[in-house]
Structure 1
């Protein structure tokens, strides 16, 4: 099932499931199963709801609601840098000994169809199509062989990057945390619904032109390796988000450069997870 967070036509925040173009409201303004989707993840009910339960809830046409990031307020968003072999090759950062990790703040996120805000201070606005996972329960010092038990589900992510701010110093935090630059959605899909995620294909398009195309199997550090590494030094909680990396083909390394401009439409499509679409807009 495709779980979503959204605001109703009246502006109330809620969550539910998308079925056949309708959003069935399971949150506070509907069936009232829990305050947020993160609460459902934390109490272990994520992915367990029956279609009958969902269809009994009040529903809206998907076009009448505004989709939010599936997890609105994760305590931690950890992003893995340079984690596809093709991206390592274009950056020259090969043979890494450990994952590159940086943080993104929750208040930089936006949902499907929300504008991707390009700061007035840059001319180097870039895309990074990625797959994100959401942690299912408290995780600390998890071994790789147990890691799959800590994954609730997956969604598409676009880690829009302000390259001049990112590359001005050795750490990347400024270039990754402008408002309206962390697109997440449209859906959060239970891991059990997807099977082997290595079989999923990720594709990023700018105005219909394919810029990135890769199999999730091409990750340099696998999802179990990422979870083992990250939880070796920080405790994760249900609802935390790990963004697993982007393939080669980002605008920074194109010739000529493939940076974004206002009005560009960027889509990230992942098998089984839908298509995340955002249009670039200037942030005054």
Structure 2
């Protein structure tokens, strides 16, 4: 099942994607796609609905972030062997964790805005994991049972803010629009192995990133188990699990960064695609 949110920013309605690729409205059945409806029992009730009986939504409608009311937006850094190698970083002994501000979250096709003073805005296609069941002190064997589903995240990053402004990476990760999420939340029954998904990102039609979740240093189950030892994961929390090689800061002979007018296109196998136009803040 592919769940989504459609409509104007701040006024999104719940929906799903039917087998023919049409958007169907779920407003008569749930208020929103939030942690309250991401448990197994609630998802099973939605799965039992006949999509053909649901109101049809125009295919031109805006798609919002596929999850509303996100509690925590957790991100894992340097989590691909080949990405760590391209930027000359050591392989971490434990998952590197930072948080992205929820105010960065936008829809999958909304504009990405380069903030004032930015010189180094970069792209990162990532597998997003959405928690569906409260997780505290879970084992790796139990971890995936706590997942509602998966989505695409573009972990847009301002590298100078991230590295030169002192403090945590969060400074360069949390600018407005730096968290496109969606287009839909694909429930875990449709993703039998989250470590076997191809990822790609293009800028202006040129392939920049090509990778597979199979090269993660810490897999999804490891990440969930690790984080759950530190704090409780709640339904609706999102974990962005790191990016494969091909980011702008790793380009040779010199880094390449986003500029106004650039277009990013992101894809993850089975999870759809995103498309963002870059513009400058005013």
Which range, TM-score by smaller chain?
over 0.9
Deviations 1:3-55 (A, max 9, x none): 1011169x84211112334211102xxxx211111132147322653475222
How many Å separate the matches in 1 of 2:47 and 2:170?
41
Show the counterpart of 1:171: 168
Q: Distance in 2 between matches of 1:120 and 1:58?
A: 42
Q: Pick from 253, 265, 268: which aligns with 1:267?
A: 265
Partner of 2:204: 207
Higher strand share: 1
Please point out which of 78, 88, 93 is paired with 1:82.
Answer: 78
Q: Which moved more, 1:99-108 or 1:50-59?
A: 50-59
Q: CA deviation at 1:107?
A: 1.7
1:203–1:269 contact (8 Å) kept in structure 2: yes
Aligned residues: 278
Q: Say what the alpha-carbon RMSD is for the aligned residues.
A: 1.7
TM-score (norm 2): 0.94
Native 8 Å contact 1:42 1:239 kept in 2: no
For structure 2, list consecutive stretches of 5 or more residues without a partner in the other structure: none
Deviation at 1:113, TM superposition (A): 1.4
Matches within 5 A, 1:1-284: 1-7=1-7, 12-19=11-18, 20-27=20-27, 32-38=28-34, 39-42=36-39, 44-46=41-43, 49-50=46-47, 53-63=50-60, 65-168=61-164, 169-255=166-252, 256-284=254-282
**Alpha carbons 2:75, 2:240 under 8 Å: kept:** yes
- Looking at structure 1, the residues matched to 8 and 21 of structure 2 have their Cα atoms a distance apart, in angstroms, of 15
Q: Which moved more, 1:13-22 or 1:124-133?
A: 13-22
Q: SS where residue 175 of structure 1 aligns? A: helix
Change in CA separation of 1:264 and 1:100 when aligned onto 2, cut-off 3 Å:
same
Q: Distance in 1 between matches of 2:243 and 2:43?
A: 27
Task: Tell me the TM-score normalised to structure 1 length.
Answer: 0.93
